[in-house]
Amino acid sequence: MQKKRVAIIGFGRSGGDIHGAFFASDRNEWFEVVAVVDELEIRRERAKKQFGCDVYADYREILDRKDLDLVVNATYSHFHFPVALDLLEHGFNIVTEKPFAKTAAECDQLIAAAKKTGASLCVFQQSHFAPYYQEVCKIINSGVLGRLIEVKINFGGFARRWDWQCSHAYNGGNLRNTGPHPLEQAINFFDDEGVPTVVSYLDRANSFGDAEDFAKVILTQPGKPIVEVEITSCNAYSDYTYLIQASHGSLKGTLQEIKYKYFDPEQAPTRKLIMESLQGPEGAPAYCGEKREWNEGQLTMEGDAFGAAVKAYYRNVYEHLTNGTPLVIRPEKIRQEIAIIEEVHRQNPNHYPV
């Protein structure tokens, strides 16, 4: 098997510690890093030592190379769009980090540029492949929970932050930094066309920048469950990632464990509406209740969003580049996510104290 030749632009926490770490690991069967771009000399030296690759200080130095099968765009968030657009217009296949772009209009430009040059446009939203999310989907798709009523997705904890990802100028904040992961999962509960109705609230509590560290986003669409997404750095008691209410049962899951219970309506006693007062023994008032026979399941996760999920993501990218296999993470679908983020910011123009 011939490995694909890769360049990484940006060798920081994402480019180096996520993408680079995967490419350097024994989990990687498909890619070879031949070039790394970073403005910091110490990171270029680190990359050269790790991969024995060419290094550059400016990404424009690789634009004339004809030997690259894939370029990973792991620049600062506010550079994702212009760098991705430049690469696509030069015909490079790319993986671009989240957030995909700042606006839906920018997404449209990137999608159009990819179509024009025939380049592959891949968005790095690897949490779709995380074991916990894949198992939640399997349980939902099995139908045992019945019709979904409400889905809560919580990416939360308690933290203070003071780096560039706290700044609006750099497209920072919880919504654009962490939010793409739960929002990508949330939009899969809705139709591909259009954008769900959005109700939202943002706040800033412990961030040392001007961007939010609390986001609540509620999404609705006729015939679909209500989906609530919370991305918070203010919750010291966060005890679930997924909490689902459904017609036949419920599910509660973290990144490490999933529990669910449901009843089988075919095995339950036959019931009909009774309008008269319910009576117990000797005519005593009675409450409408029954003993329920629960079926229960519990799963412990193996792998996480930075191990198994990254491998599954890049397997899909390799198969797409090699065999034309459809991308699981489609940029057209991620456009919905960006449109939601854009709408949340529109709804919250002055959403926290400065």
Annotate 203-224 with DSSP letters as a single string: E-SSBSSSS-SEEEEEEE-TTS
Structural domain of 67: 4-124
Residue 326 lies in a domain: no
Q: Where are the alpha helices (DSSP H) in 165-237?
A: 174-177, 180-187
Residue 320 within any structural domain of the chain: no
Residues 168 and 256 in one domain: yes
Under 8 Å between Cβ of 198 and 340: yes
Q: Please check whether residue 169 lies inside any domain of the structure.
A: yes
Does residue 50 sit within a domain? yes
CA 74 from chain centre, in angstroms, equals 16
Together in a domain, 250 and 153: yes
What is the DSSP code (8-state) at residue 335?
A: H
Looking at the fold, whether 187 and 112 belong to one and the same domain comes out as no
User: Does 161 fall in a domain?
Assistant: yes
Residues 133 and 250 in one domain: yes
Same domain, 299 and 169: yes
How far is 254 from 258, CA to CA, in rounded Å? 6
Backbone phi, psi, residue 200, to 5°: -150, 165
- Rounded to two decimals, what is the model's pTM? 0.92
**Domain assignment present for 257:** yes
Quote the tokens at residue 183.
Answer: 């929002």
Do 106 and 154 share a domain, yes or no?
A: no
Q: Note down pLDDT in tens along the chain; length 354 residues.
A: 789 999 999 999 999 999 999 999 999 999 999 999 999 999 999 999 999 999 999 999 999 999 999 999 999 999 999 999 999 999 999 999 999 999 999 999 999 999 999 999 999 999 999 999 999 999 999 999 999 999 999 998 999 999 888 888 889 899 999 999 999 999 999 988 878 999 999 999 998 989 999 999 999 999 999 999 999 999 999 889 999 999 999 999 999 999 999 999 988 888 899 888 888 888 788 888 888 889 999 999 887 768 899 999 999 999 999 999 999 999 999 999 999 999 999 999 876 544
CA distance linking residue 145 with residue 156, whole number of Å? 25
CATH of the domain at 144: 3.30.360.10
- Measured in residues, the chain has a length of 354
What type of residue sits at position 1? Answer: M
In this structure, are 148 and 172 located in the same domain? Answer: yes
Q: Where are the alpha helices (DSSP H) in 66-130?
A: 80-89, 104-117
Radius of gyration in angstroms for the set of CA atoms belonging to the chain, rounded to a whole number: 23
C-alpha distance across the termini of the chain, in Å: 55
Residue 70: inside a domain, yes or no?
yes
Domain count, the chain: 2
Is position 18 within any domain?
yes
